[in-house]
Amino acid sequence: MNEKNRLGILAGKGELPWIAVRNAIEMGEDPLVFLLTDEEPPEEYKNRCYKVTLTKFYSSVLKSLKKASISRLVSLGKIPKNIIYDNPQFDLRTLFLLAKMHNKNDYTIFLYLNEILKKNGIEVLPQTQFLKNCFLEEGRYGKRLSKNQVEDVAFGMYYAMEVNRLDIGQCVVVGDKIVWAVECAEGTDECIKRGGALFKKGGAVVCKVAKRNHDPRFDLPVTGITTLESMKLSNCKVLAIESNATIVINKQEFLKKAEEFGITIISIKEHLTDKDKIKKINGSWFSFL
């Protein structure tokens, strides 16, 4: 491996960065991991890890990447939105950078940081570059939806797209064609718990989408077993996702757990709010893997 072309993985919370590390190694890469959170890395990868501080982007993140001769970078894992407010320690150049931004939404921050990385010879790669088989084919996985649930999927996907268009979040929880919760800074899992609890009737529908014309290098929606656990805890019964734009962590385990919890997964490719298409998907049997 050419040390001047080394792969870096900027790692937030969760399992996704480590799946990418494993796959990258299998593909002949020699990745280094730059940890943005305090989560402990898997034992077998500890010798590849460096702790960095996002609020010190210039003096910590960028300096570490350049020192390690990183020329390609993948950003994966959850990075809490309040990371710049909880006991922040900024370097001066990062403070100036934040002051220049017209807002501090996730995508705005990404664009600015990406431009700095590019100027320093570091290319940000698509998030799926080292994630094998990470999308779920279009179909229904689990119990057939009721007529009301089909309508809630179409209704919820519309509002999820609107919320995402405004760069607020990726997820909404709906029931009886009422929006019970919108994902904001708290993240998907807390949104699900809140929305499911508010829908006293039980069996709410969770809808999660990517931004239209999304940038594959940044913030693709992700779902996994923790999402299902939050749904079970709050008695949500349906998860609707975008089949060609939602990363599913460990697909086989995810689908087995959904079956165990009695949760139906509806995976839709394009025309996410088309009720007739959703009816057609609902009518087609697609077994768990």
Tokens of 121: 């010879």
In this structure, what token pair is assigned to residue 160?
Answer: 């999820």
According to DSSP, the β-strands at 139-141 and 6-11 are unpaired
Report the alpha-carbon distance of residue 206 to residue 235 in Å, rounded. Answer: 11
> How many Cβ atoms from other residues are within 10 Å of residue 72's Cβ?
16
HSE value, Cβ hemisphere, 13 Å, CA-based, for 158 = 12
In this predicted structure, what is the pLDDT of residue 287? 47
pLDDT at 68: 96
What is the pTM assigned to this prediction? 0.89
The token pair at 167 is 């760069």
List, for residues 139-152, the tens digit of each pLDDT value.
999 999 999 999 99
| Cβ proximity of 247 and 131 under 8 Å | yes
Quote the tokens at residue 168. Answer: 């607020």
Q: Rg (Cα) of the chain, in Å, rounded?
A: 20
Res. 286 pLDDT band, cuts 50 70 90: low
pLDDT band (50, 70, 90) for residue 15: very high
DSSP tally for the chain: helices H, then strands E: 9, 13
pLDDT for 107 equals 82
Distances 175 to 1, 157, 162, 242, 280 between C-alpha atoms, Å: 52, 12, 17, 19, 21
Q: How far apart are CA 21 and CA 4, in angstroms?
A: 18
Express each pLDDT in 153-193 by its tens digit. 999 999 999 999 998 999 999 999 999 999 998 899 999 99
Separation in Å, CA 107 to CA 118, 151, 199, 237, 276 = 16, 31, 31, 30, 33
Give the model confidence (pLDDT) of 184-239 as tens digits. 988 999 999 999 999 999 999 999 999 887 788 988 899 999 999 999 999 999 99
Most distant CA atoms of the chain, gap in Å: 58
Answer whether residue 60 shows pLDDT above 70: yes
Residues 37, 79: contact at Cβ < 8 Å?
yes
What are the chain's domains?
A: 3-124 (3.40.50.20), 139-283 (3.40.140.80)
Assess contact for 172 and 156: CB atoms under 8 A: yes
pLDDT > 70 in the chain, percent:
94
